[in-house]
Chain A
Amino acid sequence: MPKAQVTFEDIEVTVTVPAGTRLIEVSEKVGAGITYGCREGECGTCMMKIVGGSENLANPSVLEDKVLKENFAGIGNRLACQAQVLGGHVVVRPG
């Protein structure tokens, strides 16, 4: 199985997950500080900052892009309920 690693910087936890996992599937299990609202890429609550390895995430969908804009996202912001890790190592932090 192709794998990927994600580090949640705020709690110093690194997880190994199957490639294709969405961050929402692991962040709550390990207790990272990312919070969720709609869980469907609509409300922008779960916006997080990609600190490293953003190239290892699938590109944002049209919907995610739109919600990011509506929420004044900066460079490196993604929605944790949408972002999918494809491989390699991604480092994230809440906010």
Chain B
Amino acid sequence: MSLADAVIPGRPVAVAPGVHWVGALDPEMRQFDIILRTANGTSYNAYAVRGHNGVAVIDTVKEDFAGDFFARLWACCKPEEIRAIVLNHLEPDHSGALPELLAAAPQAPLYISRPALGMLKGLLKDGLDPERIVAVTDDTRVELGGRSLRFLPTPYLHWPDTQCTWVEEDGLLFSGDVFGCHFCDARLFNDRAGDFRFSFDYYYQHIMRPFREFVLQALALIEPLPIRLIAPAHGPVLRDHPQTYVRRYRQLAEPLLANEAAGRDKTLLVFYISAYGNTARMAQAVRDGAEGVEGVRVSLYDLVGGEPGPFADLIEEADGLLFGSPTINGDAVKPVWDLLSSLTLVKVKGKLGGAFGSYGWSGEAVGLIEDRLRGLKLRVPRSGVKVKLIPTAEELAECAGFGRDLAEQLVGRAGPRHIDFTAPQALSA
């Protein structure tokens, strides 16, 4: 390991000619935002980009690490040389030193995305001269002399405000949280650091996956770029084969074979679990009813025969989801909850949902599943079918009608509807 590539306290690290890492290492971090774990801490990466006419600072660090950040920054430039401050993302782990930086370089405008505008005031308690804020557009260019910054709108990766900064002259992509990971390593570069592949995938799965459509949009912007180095806001700087990491995002965002029916049909998945075969029979009737509607591809899955992971992959691409569960001890059964709880990492908002099931003496499962589906922001337009014990022919016909109705809603053939939320059973309307 050459010393020039290592992180030394108080010293910036050159990542490209005229470009320095001025971030901070946080080796003690084990849990990030509660939901994320890291076995190796993390880093808050910030960068100083120098041109003939001055310096741009891209991102800052978590507030507790402001000392490290400024020590490195002032070792590679003077405050009055700063011509631009860019924040690719306003989350506190990157904006912690922003107020102090703005005060230290009062001449420098702040470049942020348009959606960041509204968040900024929550961040800067003392406010900021609106003249100093530039909400960037596709045409914004920050000329540093010999190199310039442009901005890629990459919203919802993973906040509304996220963007990437691109230095065309050198092929440098400052990507924010995208292509980042929680992995702290003083060797800083991907070809020197320890094996962080797991951390890279884990970060994608937990932070980016719920925004898969936005990942695909961002990749469409990023893939054509002649990237020579990716400088993310966490984890190793990707200087060796940076395109590999872009390709990995593509793979992670498209884990399955292409769905041949996607262009033609809406996809409806019916999951069920059955104790005595009653809910299974209901599921088949729901499937049969839905299948009669043209333009809908229906699939039936017994939860006993599968794992939440692959089911979640299917759900990610489906248009509608139905869940059948018996009520046991006043609740839906565990495999249903296991699957539903694994959906927090998958975007299901706006999909069509519904529930049904057989019960012995009380049928709480259906309502509980519907509540959960609403909590996940699915639309649940019809209250589910509950059947006491063994379904009669009539009840099976009701199940088929339920399947047909939901399938018709999926293809938009349901016609105008009225829902009364002021009626007593408003919630199950």
Check B118 against A14 for contact (C-beta < 8 Å): no
Instruction: List residues of B (338-388) whose CB comes within 8 Å of A's CBs.
Output: 349-350, 352, 374, 377, 379-381
C-beta contact mask, A1-23 vs B, less than 8 Å → 1, else 0?
Answer: 10100000001111111100100
Q: How far is the CB of B397 from chain A (nearest CB, A)?
A: 26
Question: Which residues from 312 to 354 on chain B have a C-beta closer than 8 Å to any C-beta of chain A?
Answer: 349-350, 352
Q: A31 to B117, Cβ gap below 8 A?
A: no
For the complex, give the distance between the alpha carbons of A35 and B374 in Å: 15
Contact check, A16 vs B379: say whether CB atoms are below 8 A apart: no
Q: Is the CB of B352 within 8 A of A30?
A: no
- Report how many residues on chain A are interfacial, defined by Cβ distance under 8 Å: 27
Known: A28-B377, A44-B118. A16 touches B420 (CB 8 A): yes
Interface string of B374-418 (1 = CB under 8 A from A): 100101110000000000000000000000000000001011111
Cβ contacts under 8 Å, B412 to chain A: 11
Could you jot down 30 A-B contacts, CB within 8 Å?
Answer: A3-B422, A11-B412, A12-B417, A13-B416, A13-B418, A14-B416, A14-B418, A15-B419, A15-B421, A16-B419, A16-B420, A16-B421, A16-B422, A17-B421, A17-B422, A21-B421, A28-B350, A30-B379, A30-B419, A31-B379, A31-B381, A35-B350, A38-B118, A38-B160, A42-B118, A43-B119, A44-B115, A44-B118, A45-B115, A45-B160
Residue of B with least CB distance to A16 = B420
Taken together as a complex, chains A and B put the C-alpha atoms of A53 and B51 apart, in Å, by: 55
Minimum CB–CB distance from B51 to chain A (whole Å) comes to: 30
Residues of B within 8 Å of A30, CB to CB, are 379, 381, 419
Write out the residue numbers on chain A whose beta carbons fall within 8 Å of the beta carbon of B118: 38, 42-44, 67, 70
| In the bound complex, CA of A38 to CA of B159 (Å) | 9
A17: chain B residues within 8 A (beta carbon): 421-422
List 18 additional contacts besides A13-B416, A45-B115; criterion CB under 8 Å: A1-B422, A11-B412, A12-B415, A14-B419, A16-B421, A16-B422, A16-B423, A21-B421, A29-B374, A29-B379, A31-B352, A38-B119, A38-B160, A42-B118, A42-B122, A43-B115, A44-B115, A70-B117
Enumerate chain A interface residues (CB-CB to B < 8 A): 1, 3, 11-18, 21, 26, 28-31, 33, 35, 37-38, 42-45, 67, 70-71
Listed in ascending order, the chain B residues whose CB lies under 8 Å from chain A are 114-115, 117-119, 122, 156, 160, 349-350, 352, 374, 377, 379-381, 412, 414-423
In the bound assembly, the distance between CA atoms of A38 and B122 in angstroms comes to: 13
With a cutoff of 8 Å between Cβ atoms, the chain B residues found around residue A3 in the complex are: 422
Cα A1 to Cα B423 in complex, Å, equals: 11
Contact of A37 among B115, B420, B421 (CB under 8 A): B115
Looking at the assembled complex, report how far the CB atom of A42 sits from the nearest CB atom of chain B, in whole angstroms. Answer: 4
Complex Cα gap A30–B377 (Å): 10
The smallest C-beta distance from A6 to any residue of chain B, in angstroms, reads 10
Closest 4 CB pairs of A and B: A31-B379, A42-B118, A12-B416, A37-B160
Contact A18 B421 (CB under 8 A): yes
Residues of A within 8 Å of B350, CB to CB, are 28, 31, 33, 35
- Chain A residues contacting B414 (CB-CB under 8 Å) are 12
A15 to B427 alpha-carbon distance, docked (Å): 12
Q: Is the CB of B419 within 8 A of A13?
A: yes
Determine the distance from Cα of A35 to Cα of B155 in the docked complex, in whole angstroms.
14
Q: Find out whether the CB atom of B117 lies under 8 angstroms from the CB atom of A26.
A: no
Q: Are B417 and A13 interface neighbours, CB within 8 A?
A: yes
Chain A residue, CB-CB nearest to B161: A43
